[in-house]
Homo-oligomer: A and B are copies of this chain.
C-alpha cells in the first residue's frame, strides 16, 4: 500500500513516532508478505508461546549429550546434534572450523592438614574444583601454608608472604547487588579475582591459588570458570566453596594453616571444533545478516542447561518459529551456536576473522547468555537515536510482559564482542537473573532449573526481535562506542 512512501524514505531517518506503523506496512506491501506490522509480530510471539520445540531440543542437548566443554566428546556430539536438528528444519547448516583450547579436569581434592587447635589425627576436607586452565600439582598433591587475602590490595600488602604459599582469595559474591537486578556487576567483581587472581599470585611465587566460588548460594558447591595463567607459571588453581573459604579464613585467624592440595588437570594441544551456523536466507537484503545465537560449549561439571543450553535452544527456536509460520525475512537470519565461549571465545573470534571483509553486512547480533529466567524486555547497544524505532517491537512483546527496551553503550556479549567493538549493535533478552549465579558453572546447572514457560517466552522474544531486526526499513545503525 505505501510503497511510494517507502521508496521515498530510502535509508534516511524518519519521524520515529510514525516510523513503526508506516514502514511496517510499507515493507509488507513491498514483499507481498507481512513484515514488522503488529499482526506479524504478534503471530510470531503467539506461535512461539505455544511451542515446546526449543525445550525439547534443550532436553536432548542436556539429557543425551550432557556437559560440553571445548574439546570434549560432549562438545563434538553437541555440534552434530544441533546441526542435525536445524537441518531437519530445512535450514542450510554450515560447520565453521574453530581451533579450541583442550583442558581436561583430573583428580581434585583439598585437605586442611594442620591448624591451631587441631586434635591429633584430624584433618578437614575442603570442597573445591579446578578452574579451567589450572595447572597441575604432582599426582600425590602438594602441601603448603595458606595465605588468606580478601582483595588484590591485601595481596600486595602481603606480597613477600605469598612465595611458597597457597594463596586464597576470599572475596564474597554480592548477592544483594544481584537481587537488585545487578547480577552482572556482582559477577564481574568476583570473576575478576577468579580470572586474574591466580596469575597475580603466581607472579609473587605462590605455589597454588584458590578463589572463593563466584556465586550467591550456600550449598557448598564449587563454581568453576576460566582463569588466565601464563604458560610459564601455570600454577594449580581452584575454586573452593563459600563454606570452605569461610572455614579457611576462620582457621587462619586462629593461627598458621597448612593445606594439602591435589589437582591433576591436563592442558592438551588445541582441538578441532566448530561453530554451528544455520541460515534462514533473506529476500531483498539477503547479504545483510542478523545473528541470533547462544554458546554451545559448557563447563564440564553440569549439563549447562542455563549456561548456555537455553541460549542455543532459544536461538534454534527462532528458526523453528519462523519456519513453522513459513515467514521469510528480508535480511538473512543466521542462527549461530558458538563454540568455546567459556574458555577462549575462539568461536566468536573465528567468525569475526571470517567476516572481516564484510563487517558492515553484520547489521545486528543477538546473543542469549544470561540463562532462561523470565524475560521482561530487550537489552541493546544500539545508538540512542535508533532506540525509538523499536517501539512497534516492544508493543508486540508487551502482552507477555517483555515490553521494556533498555539501551546500554556496550553489552559485552562474549562471542559477539569483536563485532560489537567493530560497530555492530548487540541485543539480548533482558531476563530475571537473581538466581542465575546460584547455579552458574556448578554441577547444579541442570535441565530442571529451566522453566518451560520461561523458555517459551525466551523464544518468543528472540523470534520477534530477530524478525524485527531482519525486516527493519530504516538503518539499524552502528553502536555508539565501538
Contact residues of A with B, CB < 8 Å? 59-60, 63-67, 73-74, 77, 80-81, 115, 117-122, 124-125, 127, 217-221, 242-243, 246-247, 250-251, 254, 302-303, 438-439, 442-444, 446-449
**Which residue on chain B has the smallest CB distance to residue A439?**
B219
Are A119's CB and B220's CB within 8 A?
Answer: no
**Given A80-B119, A243-B446, are A124 and B221 also a contact pair (CB < 8 Å)?**
no
Q: Shortest beta-carbon distance, A130 to chain B, in Å?
A: 16
Complex-state Cα separation, A122 to B63, whole angstroms = 11
Complex-state Cα separation, A442 to B217, whole angstroms = 15
A117 cross-chain contacts in B, Cβ below 8 A: 60, 63-64
**Which residue on chain B has the smallest CB distance to residue A80?**
B119
Are B66's CB and A447's CB within 8 A?
Answer: no
A73 cross-chain contacts in B, Cβ below 8 A: 119, 121-122
Are A302's CB and B122's CB within 8 A?
Answer: no
**Given A63-B247, A243-B448, are A443 and B119 also a contact pair (CB < 8 Å)?**
no
Complex-state Cα separation, A127 to B219, whole angstroms = 14
Q: Shortest beta-carbon distance, A124 to chain B, in Å?
A: 5
- Specify which of A67, A80, A115, A220 lies most central, judged by the most chain B CB atoms within 10 Å of its CB: A220
A303 cross-chain contacts in B, Cβ below 8 A: 124
Please tell me how many copies of the chain the complex holds: 2
Q: Shortest beta-carbon distance, A279 to chain B, in Å?
A: 25
Complex A-B: 29 CB contacts under 8 Å: A59-B250, A60-B117, A63-B117, A63-B254, A64-B115, A64-B118, A65-B119, A66-B124, A73-B121, A74-B122, A77-B122, A80-B119, A81-B119, A127-B443, A218-B444, A218-B449, A219-B221, A219-B444, A220-B302, A220-B442, A220-B446, A221-B221, A221-B444, A242-B448, A243-B446, A246-B446, A246-B447, A246-B448, A247-B446
Q: Shortest beta-carbon distance, A84 to chain B, in Å?
A: 10
A119 cross-chain contacts in B, Cβ below 8 A: 64-65, 73, 77, 80-81
A302 cross-chain contacts in B, Cβ below 8 A: 220
**Which residue on chain B has the smallest CB distance to residue A221?**
B219
Q: Among the listed B65, B121, B221, B442, which residue makes an inter-chain contact with A122, where contact means beta carbons less than 8 Å apart?
A: B65
Are A122's CB and B66's CB within 8 A?
Answer: yes
Complex-state Cα separation, A247 to B449, whole angstroms = 12
A64 cross-chain contacts in B, Cβ below 8 A: 115, 117-119, 122
Given A81-B119, A218-B444, A243-B448, 15 other A-B residues pairs in contact with their CB atoms under 8 A = A63-B117, A63-B251, A64-B118, A64-B119, A65-B122, A66-B125, A77-B119, A124-B303, A217-B219, A218-B448, A219-B438, A219-B442, A219-B444, A242-B448, A243-B446
Complex-state Cα separation, A80 to B63, whole angstroms = 49
**Which residue on chain B has the smallest CB distance to residue A242?**
B448
Complex-state Cα separation, A264 to B179, whole angstroms = 43
Closest 8 CB pairs of A and B: A219-B219, A77-B119, A220-B444, A73-B121, A243-B446, A64-B117, A220-B443, A219-B444
Q: Shortest beta-carbon distance, A217 to chain B, in Å?
A: 6
Complex-state Cα separation, A344 to B353, whole angstroms = 66
Q: Shortest beta-carbon distance, A78 to chain B, in Å?
A: 9
